[in-house]
Amino acid sequence: MVLSLYVILFLALHLLPGMKSSMINVNNNGYDGIVIAINPSVPEDEKLIQNIKEMVSEASTYLFHATKRRLYFRNVSILIPMTWKSKPEYVMPKQESYDQADVIVANPYLKYGDDPYTLQYGQCGEKGQYIHFTPNFLLTNNLPIYGSRGRVFVHEWAHLRWGIFDEYNVDRPFYISRRNTIEATRCSTHITGTNVVFKGCQGGSCVTRPCRRDSLTGLYEANCTFIPNESQTAKDSIMFMQSLNSVTEFCTAETHNTEAPNLQNKMCDHRSTWDVIVKSDDFQKAPPMTGTDPPPHPTFSLLKTKQRVVCLVLDKSGSMNSEDRLFRMNQAVELYLIQIIEKGSLVGLVTFESVATIQNNLIKITDENAYEEIRAKLPRAADGGTSICRGLTAGFQAITHSDQSTSGSEIVLLTDGEDNQISSCFEEVKQSGAIIHTIALGPAAAKELETLSNMTGGYRFFANKDINGLTDAFSRISSRSGSITQQAIQLESKALSITGKKWINGTVPVDSTVGNDTFFVVTWTIQKPEILLQDPKGRRYNTSDFKEDKLNIRTARLQIPGIAETGTWSYHLLNKQASSQELTVTMTTRARSSTTLPVTATAHMSRSTTHYPNPVIVYAHVSQGLLPVLGVNVTAIIESENGHQVKLELWDNGAGADTVKNDGIYSRYFTDFHGNGRYSLKVHAQAKKKPARLSLRQQRNKALYIPGYVENGKIIVNPPRPEVKEDMAEAEVEDFSRLTSGESFTVSGAPPAGSLTHAFPPVKIKDLEATVKGDQIQLSWTAPGKVLDKGKANSYIIRISKHFQDLQEDFDNATLVNTSSLTPKEAGSIEVFEFKPEPFKIENGTKIYIAIQAIHETNLASEVSNIAQAIKFIPPQEASVPALGTKTSATSLAILGLAVALSIF
């Protein structure tokens, strides 16, 4: 099919790499389309809106100067929740929604935690997910702690928009420099201050003492704190301490601290934040503005979320007769109407082939009668051609006939057919303001469907051979208002092939965060099976308890009375007939109560399109509210158009594709391409037998909490931030199960299935650590794979030097370590290796840098790892300490000979 220039333009604009739909664009140096959304649980407060406006206005000027007159904020939409009162100045949103917002305003999950942060887990230079501000941060005076809110916004914007990272490190606040000094982890090193231990504070007064060196690490003791001087001359860096009045710039190549053990150096190969920023797409579109005038003030639109309006636009063309597609579609739509869509929503139904028919204008979902009215109009037969545009137009009409605006309404478009006329209604779609979710059923579905989703901020799904693919896709299309306790959650979604006269058994855990509005559904292909379901207390539900669908779409459903029992539910299915058949089991539920935040899982790919041999990363985020859930078994199931399925275990180990260990983000590279076209993604997250943990630690990628400042030699302290005690930092989570669909992605340029060559090297090692043990150095790291993070590497190359730059700039000529006794382990394993660093002699004061490469069997080499540092240092009998109030940025060390374990990113 030949695409028109209009279609190609939209593909170029909208099918760009990215993990989250955003409406932001750069136009004449100004950012347009920014969405700041307030969570429905936030109490109404006019001051909140006013402070958001002031923050963005201040940030715009600060950003303009920080980017050297390139970028500022021009147009910002503030999305008001439906729970707030209506006002004349509030207008109706279009595609703007809470779930797709760039900035969210929401209460923290716990009573503490007002640090602004950005949910960011992509690679260097990749955009983040969203910025989170708490109402308390926006409504109270935080100036001494974080600096002005406008400066904080720019710090977080840099995370979100340009994919750069913090230049401090709360886990490694100090490091030993090349000059043998203890330095605070920061950029730039021109920022001065003093290092103290707080012995006790009362009111605004504290007793402090100078920091002592730790006898094991050679660094300062664990509770040593860097206190910056209030008066500074350093202009950088915004990603370290934007609160300082002098700081107005990002670190450049000239001022960047390549040694600091921070996430910026780890993730961006020691490049400065400015170097990453200037290579971003935003900067390519924004040359410096001429003149000396400041940028114009931002303009704000106040949008109020409306009642949810959804119109189902379903294909009933002749091709829907094949592979039981019409039945499968009806089964999935029924599940969506009864179990997924929120009560009170308005739902319409349109069917189309060569022509389109409005089966139902909008009906409010209040009770079973409303479901039945829509279900009764589901198509019983398939015939005719495919006209997607006519279906969409009828969908818009069904919405407007019910006195609702298409702006902000949702269309769920399902089709399995080709249609070379889709581009003819692109302008109508764009003008409608509607959000279009697309479900491509089978490999022949129109290739332009994703364009409709991308241009309107909708979801895109692909369902193929996997019989559960359609129900999984529909289950993902829940409200995007931010009301998480109202959204449906999938606990189980399993396709079962069962032979004649055989039983099949399974279990599903129901945890204490869910249990309301719980359904257990069984579908079949030939004959209804015998069904037995048992709750954790032994109560049984038999086949007669299940309600069979009146439309004969081979579905039996049980709604669990009241709140489902917490614990393990078991099910048993008997295929009563002689031949084999396919069965499916689906279990959905909602939060146990409006005040109980459920454990949730979301999934997506790092890119919506990829061209071979570029790999993509699978991401799954498991959380309860805004807190990460750790120790979960997470499996991605990826299916290609030819029906080939790949199961991939995702990891939260801080190695390979994973950015940070133990942050609730599970990830892995995907390289098992089987041909071109669409691929579907489903993720199963479960905690069974192995306890998961809820992390109560503060988020990363955030504005640094400043404990105080030094003014005229005196320390002025800020109120201490609430901290979680180490023994209370994690809470055990009971067994749970979650299934979720990620959006589809598209592959091009891949070789035919079966002829795939290994074009990918082992992944870069990012967590190399070194320790001196006697006259030897012990290394540890997470093993990469043969192909990125899969399989086993063939060998390792380890090189050492006494100079950091030798390894950073000329790795191949540094001293080689004998690794003949080192056999690589399976990817994800912990490697440990000891060696004698010949020709260097380890003695008091020895400092050695080490780096490593992994080699593929076809001699494809990984990037050079992070550079680890090993020091032998023995403190003097009575360690000297710096005087209180020292104005210098570091304290010199005498290198005398203690083994020190360090890792420089």
Amino acid, single-letter form, for residue 888:
T
- Within 216-366, strands assigned E span 225-228, 299-304, 309-315, 346-352, 356-364
What does the block give as tokens for 11? Answer: 């593909």
Query: What is the C-alpha separation between 604 and 18, in angstroms, rounded?
Result: 10
Those residues whose C-beta lies under 8 Å from the C-beta of residue 864, and which sit 6 or more positions away, are 764, 807, 811, 851, 852, 853
Query: What is the C-alpha separation between 180 and 242, in angstroms, rounded?
Result: 28
Pairing of strands 34-38, 75-80: parallel
* Residue in the structure block whose two tokens are 């581009």: 423
Those residues whose C-beta lies under 8 Å from the C-beta of residue 12, and which sit 6 or more positions away, are none
Let me know: does 10 contact 455? Beta carbons within 8 Å. yes
Angle, helices 5-14 vs 449-456, to 10°: value is 50
Q: What's the order of all strands across the beta sheet hosting 503-510?
A: 503-510, 567-574, 530-534, 540-542
Instruction: Please confirm, yes or no, whether 156 is among the known catalytic residues.
Output: yes
What does the block give as tokens for 454? Answer: 């991308």
Query: What is the C-alpha separation between 831 and 833, in angstroms, rounded?
Result: 7
Check residue 403 and report its DSSP letter.
Answer: T
Query: What is the C-alpha separation between 730 and 638, in angstroms, rounded?
Result: 32
Q: Kindly state the helix (H) or strand (E) to which residue 510 belongs, with its residue range.
A: strand 503-510
- Within 655-758, strands assigned E span 665-670, 677-687, 692-695, 708-711, 714-717, 730-733, 736-748
Query: What is the C-alpha separation between 133 and 137, in angstroms, rounded?
Result: 7
Cis peptide bond prior to 613, omega within 30° of 0: yes
Let me know: does 175 contact 904? Beta carbons within 8 Å. yes
- Within 727-828, strands assigned E span 730-733, 736-748, 769-773, 776-782, 795-801, 815-816
Query: What is the C-alpha separation between 558 and 564, in angstroms, rounded?
Result: 12
Pairing of strands 34-38, 847-855: unpaired
Q: Which of 132, 188, 195 is nearest to 700 (CA)?
A: 132
Let me know: does 581 contact 575? Beta carbons within 8 Å. yes
Q: Which of 765, 770, 797 is nearest to 782 (CA)?
A: 765
Q: Which of 558, 546, 556 is nearest to 522 (CA)?
A: 556
Q: Give the active site residue among 54, 58, 89, 156.
A: 156
Please list the active-site residues.
156
